[in-house]
């Protein structure tokens, strides 16, 4: 019988948060294959969002997949899910096994290079319920993921999200903290991030 080694989690100790990080949840080889498959087979969109009444293109490509009938609304966009693909189901099953949570949908972000980014926000949309569990999987270039506390402005932190990593954000994290992926001038390759969510 094969003895499979379970990936080692790292607890990130921030007050009012529950964060568990698995740096090499997927092997380098599996991660490279999944990244290429996602680039080729996901229906990527370049959406316009409204900021201060102005329509602008998002600084990244996005896609939304999941169980039918679970639309997701954010930044004045309502997204209808595409049906699950085999690659997405493989990733979903892997992170469901380790987290003990079931997910209904995934939001994908494709950061083409360091100019692409995501601004400060919390994953606290109504349809995620109280204390949502977010399973965040990253492939490709490492990017800095920053946290800031909503009330205590002295509380800030950041972590590099590496190729093949899984970050579980749970408990009251979204209630108390915002996160972002800042732009960077460093020459960087592409990165894909998948945030698995449970829409209630
Ligand atoms: O790209 C990331 O690591 C973060 C993505 C994110 O925060 C989101 O999709 O809500
Ligand atoms: Mn988020």
pLDDT digits (tens, 9 = 90+) for 28-71: 999 999 999 999 999 999 999 888 899 999 999 999 999 998 77
Q: Is 147 in the pocket of ligand 1 (CB under 6 A)?
A: no
Can you tell me whether residue 77 is helix, strand or coil? strand
CA-nearest residue, atom 1 of ligand 1: 193
In the chain, domain spans:
10-197
Given a cut of 90, whether residue 75 has pLDDT beyond it is no
- 6 C-alpha to ligand 1 centroid (Å): 25
Q: Is 159 in the pocket of ligand 1 (CB under 6 A)?
A: no
pLDDT digits (tens, 9 = 90+) for 94-141: 999 999 999 999 999 999 999 999 999 999 999 999 999 999 999 999
What tokens were used for 140?
């490709």
pLDDT digits (tens, 9 = 90+) for 145-199: 999 999 999 999 999 999 999 999 999 999 999 999 999 999 999 999 999 999 9
Could you tell me the pLDDT band of residue 8, with boundaries at 50, 70 and 90?
A: confident
Could you tell me the pLDDT band of residue 1, with boundaries at 50, 70 and 90?
A: very low
Q: Is 107 in the pocket of ligand 1 (CB under 6 A)?
A: yes
For 10-197, CATH gives 2.60.120.590
What are the phi and psi torsion angles at 94 (to 5°)?
-65, -40
Q: Model-level pTM?
A: 0.95
């Amino acid at each position: 019988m094969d003895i499979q080694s379970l990936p080692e989690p790292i607890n990130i100790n921030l007050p009012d948060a529950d964060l568990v990080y698995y740096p090499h949840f997927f092997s380098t080889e599996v991660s490279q294959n999944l990244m290429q498959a996602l680039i080729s087979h996901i229906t990527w969109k370049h959406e316009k969002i409204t900021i201060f009444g102005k329509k602008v293109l998002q600084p990244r490509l996005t896609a939304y997949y999941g169980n039918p009938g679970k639309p997701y609304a954010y930044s004045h966009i309502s997204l209808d899910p595409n049906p699950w693909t085999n690659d997405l189901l493989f990733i979903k099953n892997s992170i469901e096994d380790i987290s003990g949570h079931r997910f209904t949908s995934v939001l994908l972000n494709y950061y083409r290079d360091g100019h692409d980014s995501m601004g400060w926000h919390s994953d606290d949309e109504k349809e995620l319920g109280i204390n949502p569990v977010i399973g965040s999987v990253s492939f490709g270039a490492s990017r800095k993921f920053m946290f800031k506390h909503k009330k205590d402005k002295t509380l800030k932190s950041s972590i590099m999200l590496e190729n093949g990593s899984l970050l579980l954000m749970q408990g009251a994290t979204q209630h108390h903290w915002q996160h972002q992926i800042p732009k960077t001038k460093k020459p960087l390759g592409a990165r894909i991030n998948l945030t698995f969510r449970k829409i209630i």
